[in-house]
Amino acid sequence: MLAMLLTAPGSPLRPATIPDPVPAAGQVLLRVGACGICRTDLHVADGELPEPKLPLVLGHEIVGEVASVGAGADRLEAGDRVGVPWLGWTCGECRYCRAGRENLCDRARFTGYQIDGGYAEYAVADARYCFPLPPSYTDAEAAPLLCAGLIGHRALRAAGDAERLGVYGFGAAAHIVAQVARHEGRRVFAFTRPGDAEGQAFALELGAAWAGPSSEHAPEELDAAIIFAPVGALLPAALRSVAKGGTVVCAGIHMSPIPSFPYEILWGERVVRSVANLTRQDGAEFLGLAGTIPLRITTTSLPLEQANEGLNRLRSGQVRGAAVLIPPIR
Ligand SMILES: [Zn+2]
Ligand SMILES: [Zn+2]
């Protein structure tokens, strides 16, 4: 099969023909229909996350059709359409797993990082971590639900019942979260890179109450903010925008260093927290919701062979909504 391989962090992915993977016990083989490009893929490719499997197939927003089933993976059958998220395996035994917090599992393994992912024609996945997908979305539309949507939704839950919600970085995750937040009756204030008039127009199109550059203050106090952009300097900026008792959620896996800031902007019971990974419960909840709210998923599809182009476009902020890779038809 064709796969785009990361052989060394910091170097472009290489197209390679490698043997089709074979599903082990408990796994399924998927024919990939679409795989989203997530910012985390950039962090892995750039060497900002330690010790990836090498060579590695990136990609943890996989939509695929079950082609064959390994021993004991009988919860799925050939022909089923499923999604594969970032959380690829957990131990089920550590204190986090036992407490229903498998997103924090000490021994968790992640798709497209420690397990080969979906920048390929085929992928294998542990059947217990695959999600059924709402049928109303195409493969390309469903792919971004699996991380941008899921992690975005976990971040939205972490923001509490904030009525005035700030989002910093209006990419794949924010464009989904904004729609869910609107559906819940919240008002969304979207911050983009300074000068990104198109991004601001996109946010307003999706129902944001206000959109402007991250260098500006929100036009009114916010009750919470979610930071999707991997920029540490946004944290003090967001703290300055939230009201007393408000929460600032850092939703990314990696962020540039956070500059020091005066205690007074944290004072007043403001909270700073991160969101790490996902639980299968998150997946079931969010995908259930996505099946009932008609989310408008904006995608830019590229052929699998153009994975490097997709990563570069994401890096330079040129993707409207979510970038998605489509393998060749064979
Ligand atoms: Zn565990
Ligand atoms: Zn992701």
Looking at all shown ligands, the one closest to residue 61's CA atom is: 2
67-80 pLDDT per residue, tens? 999 999 989 999 99
Backbone angles phi, psi at 179, to 5 degrees: -70, -40
**Residues within 5 Å of ion ligand 1, judged at the Cβ atom:** 90-91, 94, 97, 105
Task: Tell which residue, 101, 29, 97, has the closest CA to residue 68.
Answer: 29
What is the residue whose two structure tokens read 């896996």? Answer: 253
Looking at all shown ligands, the one closest to residue 109's CA atom is: 1
Q: Kindly give the distance from the C-alpha atom of residue 91 to the centroid of ligand 1, in angstroms, as a whole number.
A: 4
pLDDT range class, residue 40, cuts 50, 70, 90? very high
pLDDT computed for residue 329 by the predictor? 83
What's the average model confidence in pLDDT over 4-12? 97
For the entire predicted model, the pTM comes to 0.96
Query: What is the rounded distance in angstroms from the CA atom of residue 330 to the CA atom of residue 324?
Result: 18
Q: Kindly give the distance from the C-alpha atom of residue 24 to the centroid of ligand 1, in angstroms, as a whole number.
A: 21
Q: Kindly give the distance from the C-alpha atom of residue 109 to the centroid of ligand 1, in angstroms, as a whole number.
A: 10
Between helix 280-292 and helix 148-158 the angle, nearest 10°, is 100
Q: Kindly give the distance from the C-alpha atom of residue 25 to the centroid of ligand 1, in angstroms, as a whole number.
A: 20
Q: Kindly give the distance from the C-alpha atom of residue 147 to the centroid of ligand 2, in angstroms, as a whole number.
A: 5
pLDDT range class, residue 114, cuts 50, 70, 90? very high
Task: Tell which residue, 209, 116, 192, 110, has the closest CA to residue 151.
Answer: 110
Peptide bond into 55 cis (omega under 30): yes
Looking at all shown ligands, the one closest to residue 96's CA atom is: 1
Task: Tell which residue, 225, 223, 221, 246, has the closest CA to residue 235.
Answer: 225
Between helix 172-183 and helix 148-158 the angle, nearest 10°, is 50
Averaged confidence pLDDT in the chain: 97
Q: Kindly give the distance from the C-alpha atom of residue 59 to the centroid of ligand 1, in angstroms, as a whole number.
A: 22
What's the average model confidence in pLDDT over 208-225? 96
Q: What percent of the chain has pLDDT over 70?
A: 100
What's the average model confidence in pLDDT over 285-289? 97
Looking at all shown ligands, the one closest to residue 89's CA atom is: 1
The Cβ of residue 210 has, within 10 Å, a number of other Cβ atoms equal to 18
Q: Confirm if 250 and 173 have CB atoms less than 8 A apart.
A: no
257-277 pLDDT per residue, tens? 999 999 999 999 999 999 999
User: Radius of gyration of the chain from Cα atoms?
Assistant: 19
Q: Kindly give the distance from the C-alpha atom of residue 129 to the centroid of ligand 1, in angstroms, as a whole number.
A: 14
Q: Kindly give the distance from the C-alpha atom of residue 148 to the centroid of ligand 1, in angstroms, as a whole number.
A: 23
Looking at all shown ligands, the one closest to residue 36's CA atom is: 2
pLDDT range class, residue 286, cuts 50, 70, 90? very high
Q: Kindly give the distance from the C-alpha atom of residue 281 to the centroid of ligand 1, in angstroms, as a whole number.
A: 15
Task: Look at residue 330 and tell me whether its pLDDT is greater than 80.
Answer: no
What's the average model confidence in pLDDT over 151-173? 97
Q: Kindly give the distance from the C-alpha atom of residue 292 to the centroid of ligand 1, in angstroms, as a whole number.
A: 32
